[in-house]
Amino acid sequence: MELRADLIIVGAGMVGSALALALKDSGLDILLIDGSPLSVKPFDPASAFEPRVSALSAASQRILERLGAWPGIAARRSSPYGEMHVWDGSGTGQIHFSASSVHAEVLGHIVENRVVQDALLEPLHDSDIGLLPGARLERLRRSGDDWLLTLVDGRELRAPLVVAADGANSAVRRLAGCATREWDYLHHAIVTSVRCAEPHQRTAWQRFTDDGPLAFLPLERDNEHWCSIVWSVTPEEAERLMALDDTVFCSELGRAFEWRLGEVLGADPRLCIPLRQRHAKRYVEEGLALIGDAAHSIHPLAGQGVNLGFLDAAVLAEVLLHAIGRGERLADERVLSRFERRRMPHNLAMMAAMEGFERLFQANPLPLRWLRNTGLKWVDGMPEAKALFVRRALGLSGDLPDLAQA
């Protein structure tokens, strides 16, 4: 049996779910498919933290509020932060960012990915959008003016427009033959949640070590002593650190962090994630669009990945809704290119900035070490420059879609 829809979104993660919600009143027959179950898990406030978290910007918060998902996040667990400290572990350079510099209450919220996902699934279950769990894609081909999707279990789906929101290893991107530019960072990220002796003070902390950046992101559960860590190291060092028992790992982690929050008293189970940058040469073709990590994946240096994805979803929804209002064919590449023209320059600029930071702080030559330390001190003494950076990171400036506008 063949299922037909006006739009098929492949991938019901955070970004795909956000796009579906943004289009729920469009009049389109939408099918949202995913290889995983699409059920909402009961939430226990005393439960351990999920290892994967996102640093949601103010722009992402506004999008989630307008999609009806933010109340679900607030009812579960989120950790606001108003300060950020960054310093060079090989020198004396440091920089401090504050929400108060732009008269904002917070710089963002650290939220577990599972919390965001469930908060998006709740309004989806109450909508008319078709949800198809356990749907793993095996084949994708053109069939007349449509795309024909064949699932592993033999079911077939048909639609004139398909959106790939199925992550960095996108099956849609691969099966459609979309070209990418990509390279290995030659680093792995160790992620987990840790309990520190000193409170995090609702501050995001980041130290650039000789091996790579180490971030302590504030989490709240009864107190301010928990942090999510992202520790970027070489593959060999990652293998060594993953093999350590918790006591030794916590000791080495505390030393790498210069004991800024006192001793690391305990750690949850660790994940190790290879880091690779990937960017599609085109985000669109006839009847197809790539969003989120399917279109671009960047270094987790500043936690901007999901924020870029939410902006992708909001802009694509805006482009499609405007096209519906004008009676245009949504699968037309000329229509979809409006989304690409708005998002690709912004995403490329963010990727270039993250790549530049990563390379600068990995550089060993003495002149470059002097340059980055001097640069950090210089920028830290320029309130206007820092405020500009904060406004950009918060989503208070730039080409923002309607859903993200203040």
**Is the pLDDT confidence value at 120 over 80?**
yes
Express as a percent the part of the chain with pLDDT over 90.
Answer: 74
The mean predicted confidence, pLDDT, of the chain is 90
The mean-pLDDT minimum among 6-15, 68-77, 79-88, 114-123 falls in 79-88
Question: Is this prediction's pTM over 0.85?
Answer: yes
- For tokens 């130290």, the residue is 207
Least confident of 10-19, 99-108, 229-238, 270-279: 99-108
